[in-house]
Structure 1
Amino acid sequence: MEDESCAYTLDEALSTVGFGTFQSLALVFAGVGWFSEAMEMNLLSFIGPAVKSEWSLSPTEESLLSTAVFGGMLIGAYFWGFISDMYGRRMGIRCITAVAAGAGFLSSFSPNYGSLLVCRCLLGFAVAGGHVFGSWLLEFIPSANRGAWMLSLLFFWILGEVFEATIAWIIMPRLGWRWLLAISATPSLVSLMLSYFIPESPRYLHMQGKTNETLRMLEKIALTNRTNLPTGSLVSDQEMIIDEEDSTSEGRLLPSSIKKTAFHKSMLQLLSWDLLRTTLLLWILHFTFTFAYYGVVLMTSALSSGTDECASTTNHLAGSKDSSLYVSVFIACLAEFPGFLIATVLVDRIGRKLSMEILTVFGLVLILPLSSHQNQIVTTALLFGARMFLFAAFSTLTIYAKEVYPTCVRASGSGLATSMGRIGGMICPLVAVGLVRGCHQTAAVVMFGVVIIISGICILFFKFETKGRSLTDNIVTAAQ
């Protein structure tokens, strides 16, 4: 008979089976999801100018196409997180990819501006669930080198951005924007088909009290990786460290009770005393990092023709089929490759918090010189470097957000934080494009600098480092 000394937790089981073939396949699937989202986000750089020319849109109508996407994402990020926490990661992924593929293909058949606007908003609503792919993958990975493996998803994101810029360069001048929209929706369709072959997260199953299903899943992982599970019986974190009476206190709901809560209860848990500081800091950081990162992305186009002659910027942006637009976006996307490598090297060596601080400081140092007009080479180099470091910092934040929340609110918590970031994404065009086009480049850069400084200060107030820390399944252990 096995005694209590032979009991093991889910984290111990995952550490024993290690990272192997099973996790590699899971990484590829989650990577396809991120590849698809990256393509749709980079698509914003090309569709607006093309549609404006064909349908004679006003500048406001053109900008609304991007705003509609971010507006849909604002709602979708938390919605899909909630669905995934309530009904499982696998169900969430299937719904996300189905809506994304449908909205993407429908966009390509839009007969007028209004229908295109609705389709793009619906697409934004769907692709906002991309963070669920990350939560799903995270729950299969052992704690050792977890940060580096999670950051491997960024490789697929960068590939998606570069691929979108490449096919836009080829397709737009020859076949037009409708074909680009249709082709860009194809990866979502691939993800939808693959989603019927993926397993449910073992951590989600365990949280729901489905111990036998969890054990079968762990056995499958061990078999695929050609390793063995620990000897003994599988137990939960709660059974190991929490008294039964403590787990029933208000604001500290048991995982088994989570599914019985209403939509608003998830929000109450995120704002409970144990998670309040973490939640508020993540909201602020997602807002500031999104604002700064997408601001640099948009300034790349706004400043790509040189800023000494302010009026020339508008003329440059108006040429939707000018190859310089594709070149500048393509080169800017390449900045994220070294950013990905830097983040991968740092996160499991010096930790998530210190990595974010260092990367944020370097991003600030590179963006401040743009407060005065620079020549084209210097401007491009500074924007390249700033995007590289801000991308690395933002990416590290997305990993930290998923690790710091317990399983019972992981997807909804990171989703709500992502929603706050989308507000920053909706506002930043007013600064990055509006002020620069209005010949107020200095004001725009100073504002970005202030936002980045706020980010650095907020990072200091996180309670703990997640490097090497086991994931938790409930709010009580997450607060410890």
Structure 2
Amino acid sequence: MLTGISWMADAMEMMILSILAPQLHCEWRLPSWEVAFITSVVFIGMMLSSSLWGNISDKYGRRVGLILCMVWTLYYGLLSAFAPVYGWILILRGLVGFGLGGAPQSVTLYSEFLPSKSRGISIMLIEVFWALGAVFEVLLAMLVMPTLGWRWLLAFSTAPVVVFTALCFWLPESARYDVLAGNSDKALATLKRIAADNGTEMPKGRLIADRQDERGKIKDLLTPEYRKTTILLWLIWFSNAFAYYGLVLLTTELFQAGDICGVNTARAKVEPSCSLECSYLTFDDYKDLLWTTLAEFPGLLVTLWAMDCIGRRKSMVMCFVAFSVCILPLYACIGRTALTVFIFIARAFITGGWQAAYVYTPEVYPTVIRAVGIGTSSGFARVGALLTPFVAQVLLRSSVYLTLSVYCACSLLAAVAAWALPIETAGRALQESSQLNNNNQDTNTSSPQKASQASYGSQNGQSQGP
């Protein structure tokens, strides 16, 4: 629940960007490139901090890293509601982004408590919190923006982080991390607590693992064993974030114009004659934005089904190709209803592709570099996210068709990268440190996963690693 709440907070802070940009464009009379930079600065902060939070989580614990980044996000999220001028909103939202760079560590922590047979579906279920956060943000904007304004929206959007901070004392540390950090007693206490909560008994045996002091090094991601996987994952995460956030920003831009033809017709009017002309989001805009945001739920369901049937890699390929296909009808002058339908379907698939990547990434790396693996992948995602506003909000003013072509090509590139991934992780147990040491440590390393899930059966004698 707590890791889900942190994920919900991340989604709300991301979704608010597409709502905040048009408002400040009008209220502060900003040109389009300055509006785009309000979005980009958040992702710059996330890009700079993602690897740092991953390193902290691998060295000092998943719980420590997640709590620190959430407290940071809460502090600067509240301060940004009081930003008096454009320069301050940039600084404070950038610092919010710096905190949000650690939010993916919630997936790291959560995944290390899950058995391999249900890990995929369980991680996908936590992604429901992301969809809930995005929907809740739109509903909140519909209520707050017409009456109280954007400052109150920024303040109210920190609600999930407030809840997380108030309850974080309950959050347990990963037993896998504690074992590798040499804290076997803490790991055992965590597993006993889990067994008690589940109303079961601990399986017989004892935890044995070699202490790993060298944890969280980025260079380990580029060893011969993981180099190809790492580079392809960085490309997938970059492309996915570029396309996902691009579609979110395009949605408000296209809805304000009415359709593609509306963007083409208004293009000469909006930028060349006066870059400060603007229009506020209307109730209909919020309503259609809500409908397209709801697409995340069927996207999760489709991806969940696909991962069980065809595996993680092919699920990503399917989603990226389907997204590109859904973008193609937007080249025509379709009406607002058809526009909403195709954006809905495209959003469902690009959401599914990203969630499949979130399932695959912690599965493919061993515990000693799992957090930094997710952190660096998230960093590349933020590079794509910080670039996409200049396509969705700036390049769109010059060429609608070039803008759509960029997103199609980027998604197809991600599909090729997903197809080229060398490892399928469906049904594969989480690795500890044996992949890096290239010895048989896994024969004397117990599995906290087995100990924490007493319902999987007791073992006589010593527990063995996955």
TM-score by shorter chain over 0.5: yes
- Tell me if structure 2 keeps the 8 A contact 1:134–1:150: yes
Q: Which residue of 2 aligns with 1:67?
A: 40
- Tell me if structure 1 keeps the 8 A contact 2:6–2:106: yes
Give the structure-2-normalised TM-score: 0.88
1:446 Cα shift?
Answer: 2.0
Deviation larger for 362-371 or 175-184: 362-371
Q: Which residue of 2 aligns with 1:43?
A: 16
Q: Which residue of 2 aligns with 1:97?
A: 70
Q: Which residue of 2 aligns with 1:148?
A: 121
Structure 1 letter corresponding to 2:212: S
Q: Distance in 1 between matches of 2:277 and 2:120?
A: 38
Q: Distance in 1 between matches of 2:337 and 2:91?
A: 40
Q: Which residue of 2 aligns with 1:308?
A: 261
Q: Could you list the runs of 5+ residues in structure 1 that have no partner in the other structure?
A: 1-27, 239-254, 260-264
- Tell me if structure 2 keeps the 8 A contact 1:292–1:390: yes
Deviation larger for 105-114 or 369-378: 369-378
Q: Distance in 2 between matches of 1:475 and 1:331?
A: 46
Question: Which residue, 272, 278, 302 being the options, matches 2:229?
Answer: 278
Please list the CA deviations of residues 256-293 of structure 1 after superposition, one character each: whole Å capped at 9, or x if unmatched: 2225xxxxx71211112222111101111011111122
1:479 Cα shift?
Answer: 8.2
1:351 Cα shift?
Answer: 1.5
Structure 1 letter corresponding to 2:290: F
For the pair 1:346 / 2:306, whether they are aligned, the reply is yes
Q: Which residue of 1 aligns with 2:155?
A: 182
- Tell me if structure 1 keeps the 8 A contact 2:217–2:369: yes
Please list the CA deviations of residues 58-104 of structure 1 after superposition, one character each: whole Å capped at 9, or x if unmatched: 32222221111011111121111111111101111111111000001
1:193 Cα shift?
Answer: 1.9
- Tell me if structure 1 keeps the 8 A contact 2:260–2:331: no
- Tell me if structure 1 keeps the 8 A contact 2:36–2:390: no
Q: Which residue of 1 aligns with 2:418?
A: 459
Alpha carbons of structure 1 residues 290 and 353: separation in structure 2 relative to 1, 3 Å: same
- Tell me if structure 1 keeps the 8 A contact 2:36–2:394: no
Structure 2 letter corresponding to 1:418: S
Q: Which residue of 1 aligns with 2:461?
A: none
Q: Distance in 1 between matches of 2:91 and 2:432?
A: 38
Q: Which residue of 2 aligns with 1:448?
A: 407
Alpha carbons of structure 1 residues 117 and 367: separation in structure 2 relative to 1, 3 Å: same
- Tell me if structure 1 keeps the 8 A contact 2:327–2:342: yes
Question: Which residue, 209, 228, 235 being the options, matches 2:208?
Answer: 235
Give the structure-1-normalised TM-score: 0.85
Structure 2 letter corresponding to 1:390: I
- Tell me if structure 2 keeps the 8 A contact 1:93–1:195: no
- Tell me if structure 2 keeps the 8 A contact 1:362–1:389: yes
- Tell me if structure 1 keeps the 8 A contact 2:43–2:386: yes
Q: Distance in 2 between matches of 1:300 and 1:193?
A: 35
Alpha carbons of structure 1 residues 128 and 162: separation in structure 2 relative to 1, 3 Å: same
Structure 2 letter corresponding to 1:183: F
- Aligned residues: CA RMSD: 2.1
Q: Which residue of 2 aligns with 1:4?
A: none
Q: Which residue of 1 aligns with 2:108?
A: 135
- Tell me if structure 2 keeps the 8 A contact 1:436–1:444: yes
For the pair 1:472 / 2:431, whether they are aligned, the reply is yes
Structure 1 letter corresponding to 2:389: P
1:36 Cα shift?
Answer: 0.6
Deviation larger for 457-466 or 341-350: 341-350
For the pair 1:217 / 2:182, whether they are aligned, the reply is no
For the pair 1:397 / 2:357, whether they are aligned, the reply is yes
Q: Distance in 2 between matches of 1:198 and 1:155?
A: 20
Q: Which residue of 1 aligns with 2:247?
A: 296
1:56 Cα shift?
Answer: 2.8
SS at match of 1:257: coil
Question: Which residue, 330, 345, 350 being the options, matches 1:385?
Answer: 345
1:373 Cα shift?
Answer: 2.9
For the pair 1:436 / 2:389, whether they are aligned, the reply is no
Q: Which residue of 2 aligns with 1:256?
A: 212
- Tell me if structure 2 keeps the 8 A contact 1:206–1:214: yes
Q: Distance in 1 between matches of 2:104 and 2:437?
A: 20
Please list the CA deviations of residues 439-476 of structure 1 after superposition, one character each: whole Å capped at 9, or x if unmatched: x2222222222212211111122222111111012262
Q: Which residue of 2 aligns with 1:21?
A: none
Alpha carbons of structure 1 residues 284 and 475: separation in structure 2 relative to 1, 3 Å: farther
Q: Distance in 2 between matches of 1:198 and 1:402?
A: 20
Structure 1 letter corresponding to 2:234: W
1:379 Cα shift?
Answer: 2.2
Q: Distance in 1 between matches of 2:162 and 2:437?
A: 36
Structure 2 letter corresponding to 1:452: S
- Tell me if structure 2 keeps the 8 A contact 1:146–1:348: no
Q: Distance in 2 between matches of 1:400 and 1:189?
A: 30
Kindly, what percent of the aligned residue pairs are identical? Answer: 34
Q: Distance in 1 between matches of 2:26 and 2:261?
A: 27
- Tell me if structure 1 keeps the 8 A contact 2:73–2:96: yes
Q: Distance in 2 between matches of 1:189 and 1:196?
A: 13
Q: Distance in 1 between matches of 2:397 and 2:181?
A: 53
Q: Distance in 1 between matches of 2:53 and 2:426?
A: 27
1:321 Cα shift?
Answer: 4.3
Question: Which residue, 285, 288, 306 being the options, matches 1:328?
Answer: 288
SS at match of 2:223: coil
Alpha carbons of structure 1 residues 445 and 317: separation in structure 2 relative to 1, 3 Å: farther
